[in-house]
A and B are shown apart, each in its own frame.
Chain A
Amino acid sequence: MAQTLSDSELVARCRSGDQQAWAELVDRFSRYVYAISVQAFRLPEADAEDVFQEVFARAYEHLDGLRDDAAVRPWLGQLTRRLCIDRLRATSRERPTADEELDLAGSEETLTMLEDALTVHEALAATPEHCREILDRFFARDESYRTIGEALDLPAGTIASRISRCLGRLRELLEGRTQPDTPSSSR
């Protein structure tokens, strides 16, 4: 999860055919794309999987058309939203859905929250590895103290304090940014 390349550097490498860079780009944005489809649009798992693959297939195919390499994040977000809406429309043709349900899908509030979440995850990638690991395991992967302790070889009693210290560190990092809401390429 460590991020050494900016988004624009990563896109440039993908465009030159660097397969490792493509794998990193998918890894970097996979959670975001996934969360938009299952949290903001509440797509069933099978539809979410189709959208997920379609987003990256189109991104791969149209990477050359991206005007600003640093804008890959909003571009992928927009693409995911569009494909989710297409999917909901197709589903509602097969199984009529109340208009309000479609209107509520992809609520702006959830999408904004996911934007902030991605900003936080990007900052997390800039923290020391032990912080990244423990915060991701505890919060994003919902692992228990016991599982974390076993995986990281830590006494269970020290996990809570380490999580707290790492959250503090992450907060300092985020608050130290002059423009925390700019695209991730500004890291």
Chain B
Amino acid sequence: MIAFDEERLARLIRALPPAPEAWVRAAQELPLAKAGLDEIVARAEADAEFRARLVADLEAALAAEGYERDPAVIEALKVRFKSK
């Protein structure tokens, strides 16, 4: 059994401060980002013209189509479509 005197307990509670809220929120929203990503990829596969615009200028193409700017989705799409 691990010994936990109160001084040690205090030290151990102190050792895990909260992560920055924005980081936690972004990680919690991953499923939503993933859903958005899947939708854009499916559309690009079905629509060659949309795909060409994504490759040419990803952020402009997404903005023009009214997609919300999500950094995680944009990074993933950049890798996928090797866009600028």
A interface residues with partner B (beta carbon < 8 Å): 17, 19, 22-23, 26-27, 30-35, 39, 49, 52-53, 56-57, 60, 113-114, 116-121, 124, 135-136, 139-142, 164, 167-168, 170-171, 174-175, 177, 180-181
Contacts and interface: CB of A to CB of B under 8 A. Distances in A.
Given A26-B24, A52-B23, A116-B2, 16 more contacts: A26-B27, A26-B30, A31-B18, A34-B20, A35-B17, A56-B27, A113-B15, A117-B12, A117-B16, A121-B16, A139-B10, A140-B13, A141-B18, A175-B1, A175-B4, A180-B2
26 contacts: A17-B31, A19-B31, A22-B28, A23-B28, A30-B19, A31-B18, A31-B19, A34-B18, A34-B23, A35-B15, A35-B16, A49-B20, A52-B23, A57-B27, A57-B72, A60-B34, A117-B16, A118-B16, A120-B12, A136-B13, A141-B17, A167-B10, A168-B6, A171-B9, A174-B9, A175-B1
Nearest to B28: A23
B24 A22 contact: no
Interface residues of B, number: 26
